């Protein structure tokens, strides 16, 4: 599950962070929901208590009026009663209005028919009773006041008491219901909130583990692959799927490992090819020459006893042959030197090599000429080495065997490809050698073919007996050129 991911690491981390934040907000929302539900029940209970208090105040106002009327009957102080009664009327009406307003916010109590009708009865009745008592007191009809006290005022007092009892009963039932609901909410709160937080924590841990795994596991693979590469195991590749940064890094690492492997293989093959060429050079030059010298020395050994003068002539010839062998050995050693140019100028290296061959040749033949066409471009080092090796082999063969008067090397830096030609006007190559059926002792052409194959180049040899030879090397630009470029 940690192998593939099409999302970038930054996107995954951001998504994980946002998911954790959303989960935390969700857990908080659950807690707030339960707390709000508990607060709603508490508010309902407070409203019911306020309604009960308001009704009790109304009842107290009625009770206070009854006591004032009883005191008036005893004291018969009409002016004082009138003042207190007016104040009581204002207070009672304010308390009734407050009770009506509170009951509107408590529909369960307000919907009770008795409570509503009792409050509506008390609201106009008590003020009218107060006015009637003031008039009777002003008229001095104390007997009528006493009758009202034991009759109508007592009825109002009983009505307000019944109103209080009815509201208290409603409030009590409401308080019982609210307490039960609050207890259930509290119970749910103690269960839901910890569960929500645990689920959020678990989800956050899973997301963190997953996102961390999608980063650490590929990094571990990259580390293992880097260690394998450091040990020289070029075949170890990183298996990282998806298209995120680590997948891109893994693919780049695999590509670099393959490139290093190819370079290592090419270097190894080049070494093997160079050893093969050394064997060819030694076989074609020193070994064959010394083998001939050995045969002639055996002949001289036989002639010394019978024909000393003829043996002396043969020794002179052998000395000349040994000198030629030394020259051939020197030329072979010259060819065995690795191509290491301080600059990247292939033309300069070939020109230097061609001039050295001209200096060592008899009568300065053949004449060497170098031509460069196109815009100069740096060749890849391995390409430059193998191209130089092919050209050097072709020039040595020309100077050694072709009996040519002129030899020309043409270098062409083209946009689509790189081309190099070596042309001479010598005696040409025999068809058997050209076709590869010339037998042992002819390793020049096979060596050039091996070098061309090593860099993916095409080697073409055109030759007819008596009409010269042309060797052409072609290589695609993508495989030949480096990045540097300048005008020649």
Residue that has been written with the tokens 């409050």 in this structure: 119
Residues 6 or more apart whose Cβ sits within 8 Å of residue 98: 54, 57
Cβ atoms of 377 and 482 within 8 Å: the answer is: yes
Instruction: Give the helix ranges, DSSP H, for 372-443.
Output: 381-397, 431-434
My answer on whether 169 and 21 are in the same domain is yes
Domain of residue 362, CATH code: 3.30.565.10
CA separation for the pair 486, 488 (Å, rounded): 6
Residue 225 lies in a domain: no
- What pLDDT is attached to residue 68? 77
Crossing angle (nearest 10°) for helices 113-139 and 142-150: 160
Q: Which of 155, 179, 213 is the last residue of a domain?
A: 213
Residue 25 lies in a domain: yes
* DSSP secondary structure of 95-126: HHHHHHHHHHT-HHHHT-HHHHHHHHHHHHHH
Give the 3-state secondary structure of residue 257: helix
Residue 291 lies in a domain: no
CA separation for the pair 125, 362 (Å, rounded): 152
Residue 207 lies in a domain: yes
What pLDDT, in 10s, does the model give residues 156-172? 778 878 878 887 887 78
CA separation for the pair 210, 2 (Å, rounded): 7
Instruction: Report the domain count for the chain.
Output: 2
My answer on whether 201 and 55 are in the same domain is yes
CA separation for the pair 485, 372 (Å, rounded): 15
- Predicted TM-score of the model (pTM): 0.39
CB neighbour class for 305 (10 Å; exposed up to 12, middle 13-18, buried from 19): exposed
- What pLDDT is attached to residue 341? 45
Residue 316 lies in a domain: no
Instruction: Give the helix ranges, DSSP H, for 287-345.
Output: 288-306, 308-336
Tell which residue, 219, 243, 217, 221, has the closest CA to residue 1.
217
Residues spanned by the domain of 92: 9-213
- What pLDDT is attached to residue 363? 75
CA separation for the pair 193, 30 (Å, rounded): 7
CA separation for the pair 329, 398 (Å, rounded): 17
pLDDT per residue of the chain (488 residues) written in tens, 0 to 9? 444 566 677 777 788 888 888 888 887 887 788 788 878 878 777 887 887 888 888 888 888 877 877 777 777 778 877 888 888 888 888 888 888 787 777 777 767 777 778 778 877 877 887 788 777 877 777 777 777 777 777 777 788 788 788 878 877 887 888 788 888 878 877 887 788 778 888 888 887 787 777 777 777 777 887 887 777 676 777 776 666 777 777 778 777 777 777 776 666 666 666 666 666 566 555 655 665 666 667 666 667 767 777 767 777 777 776 766 666 666 555 555 444 444 568 999 999 889 888 887 777 789 999 999 999 888 988 899 889 989 988 998 898 888 899 999 999 999 999 999 999 999 988 887 777 655 554 567 888 888 898 889 999 999 888 889 999 999 999 889 865 444 33
My answer on whether 208 and 345 are in the same domain is no
Residue 219 lies in a domain: no
Q: Which of 158, 185, 213 is the last residue of a domain?
A: 213
Q: Which of 198, 213, 228 is the last residue of a domain?
A: 213
My answer on whether 208 and 344 are in the same domain is no
Residue 333 lies in a domain: no
Cβ atoms of 417 and 455 within 8 Å: the answer is: no
My answer on whether 205 and 354 are in the same domain is no
My answer on whether 54 and 199 are in the same domain is yes
Residue 318 lies in a domain: no
My answer on whether 60 and 209 are in the same domain is yes
């Amino acid at each position: 599950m940690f192998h593939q991911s099409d999302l970038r690491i930054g996107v995954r981390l951001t998504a994980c962070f946002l998911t954790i934040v959303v989960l935390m907000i969700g857990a908080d929302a659950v807690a707030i929901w339960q707390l709000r539900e508990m607060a709603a029940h508490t508010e309902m209970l407070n409203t019911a208590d306020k309604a009960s208090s308001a009704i009790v105040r109304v009842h107290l106002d009625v009770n206070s009026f009854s006591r004032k009327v009883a005191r008036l009957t005893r004291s018969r102080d009409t002016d004082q009663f009138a003042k207190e009664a007016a104040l009581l009327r204002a207070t009672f009406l304010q308390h009734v209005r407050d009770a009506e307003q509170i009951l509107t916010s408590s529909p369960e109590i307000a919907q009770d028919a008795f409570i509503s009708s009792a409050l509506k009865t008390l609201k106009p009745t008590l003020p009218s009773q107060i006015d009637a008592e003031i008039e009777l007191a002003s008229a001095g009809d104390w007997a009528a006041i006493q009758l009202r006290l034991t009759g109508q005022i007592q009825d109002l007092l009983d009505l307000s008491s019944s109103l209080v009892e009815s509201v208290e009963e409603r409030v009590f039932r409401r308080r019982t219901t609210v307490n039960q609901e609050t207890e259930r909410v509290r119970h749910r709160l103690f269960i839901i909130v910890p569960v929500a937080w645990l689920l959020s924590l678990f989800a956050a841990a899973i997301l963190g583990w997953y996102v961390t795994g999608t980063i650490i596991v590929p990094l571990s693979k990259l580390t293992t692959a880097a260690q394998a590469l450091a040990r020289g195991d070029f075949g170890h590749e990183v298996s990282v799927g998806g298209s995120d940064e680590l997948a891109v890094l893994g693919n780049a690492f695999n590509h670099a490992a393959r490139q290093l492997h190819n370079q290592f293989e090419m270097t190894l093959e080049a070494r093997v090819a160079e050893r093969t060429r050394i064997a060819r050079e030694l076989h074609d030059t020193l070994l064959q020459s010394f083998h001939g010298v050995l045969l002639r020395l055996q002949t001289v050994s036989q002639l010394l006893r019978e024909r000393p003068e003829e043996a002396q002539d043969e020794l002179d010839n052998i000395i000349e042959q040994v000198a030629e062998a030394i020259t051939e050995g020197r030329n072979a050693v010259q060819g065995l030197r690795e191509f290491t140019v301080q600059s990247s100028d292939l033309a300069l290296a070939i020109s230097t090599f061609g001039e050295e061959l001209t200096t060592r040749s008899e009568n300065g033949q053949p004449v060497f000429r170098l031509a460069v066409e196109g815009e100069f471009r740096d060749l890849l080092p391995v390409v430059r080495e193998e191209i130089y090796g092919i050209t050097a082999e072709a020039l040595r063969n020309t100077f050694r065997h072709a009996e040519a008067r002129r030899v020309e090397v043409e270098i062409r830096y083209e946009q689509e490809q790189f081309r190099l030609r070596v042309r001479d006007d010598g005696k040409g190559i025999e068809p058997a050698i050209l076709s590869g059926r010339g037998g042992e002792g002819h390793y020049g052409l096979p060596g050039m073919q091996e070098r061309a194959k090593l860099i993916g180049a095409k080697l073409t040899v055109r030759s007819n007996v008596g009409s010269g030879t042309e060797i052409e090397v072609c290589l695609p630009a993508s495989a030949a050129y480096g990045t540097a470029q300048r005008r020649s």
